[in-house]
Homo-oligomer: A and B are copies of this chain.
Amino acid sequence: MNTKHLPHKTVERLSQYRRTLYLILSKDKTHVFSHEIAQMLHITPVQVRRDIMLIGYSGNLRKGYDIKELIDLIGKIIDTEKGQNVAVIGLGNLGKAIISYFKGKRTKLKIIAAFDINPDKINRVYDGVQCYPASRIHEIIKNEDITIGIITVPAEQAVATAETLVLSGIKGILNYSPKPLNVSPNVFLEEYDMITSLEKVAFYAKKNDERFK
């Protein structure tokens, strides 16, 4: 599959399309129209068709898109054949939330390790995921072929954690700490800051309010 330059937003939507398609498939439907997908995700049908065009798939004019084919194709694009292993660094509330979130989800991504520095958590199993001491990050990431790390440690430890991950050969990092990171260009970094999101909502909530009164 030639995925030359898929826009970031398209990649994000592909993930959502796939989950939506599974939902529709479970209703014994075999085909779906762009506007049906669009309606479920509250976006425009044009957006859906454009994204599908970008991945080189074609639908049927009367029946729409073959759901199974589309699911398979999206899988070929965003998954690797044998899947990728994931580690959560920081087993606080957020780390636990992420692990239980993924529990039982059909996906090529498997959370297979958690790390923490709290002795009460180390060597225990949370929702099927073993917690190791942070000192063993390097060793376990190497041995278990973990390619993705989710950082949920406090801000003070985020930079050191990221460095360890990169040195251990990680390929992608999802950073939930409020501390912006800087990693080498061969590691993909995605950052999400809850405080920023909330302050953004607060700002536009205020503006909307002023506009409507």
Contact = CB atoms under 8 A, between A and B. Distances in A.
Contact of A93 (B3, B42, B96, B178): B96
Interface band, chain A: 35 or more
Contacts of A174: 197-198, 201
A39 to B, nearest CB: 9
B94 A172 contact: no
B188 A101 contact: no
Contact of A188 (B148, B192, B201): B201
Contacts of A180: 16, 40-42
Interface in A122-136: none
Interface string A73-117: 000011110001010000011101110111001011100000000
A84 B200 CA distance: 12
Contacts of A150: 198
A29 interface: no
Given A86-B198, A205-B148, A182 B42 contact: yes
The A contact surface, by secondary structure, is: helix
Q: Give this chain's copy count.
A: 2
Interface in A166-199: 171-174, 178, 180-182, 186-188, 190, 192-199
Interface centre among A80, A172, A174 (most CB of B within 10 A): A172
Contacts of A186: 208, 211-212
Given A171-B205, A204-B172, A209-B171, A199 B98 contact: no
A202 B16 contact: no
Nearest to A96: B93
A186 B80 CA distance: 42
A145 to B, nearest CB: 12
Given A209-B171, A212-B186, A148 B202 contact: yes
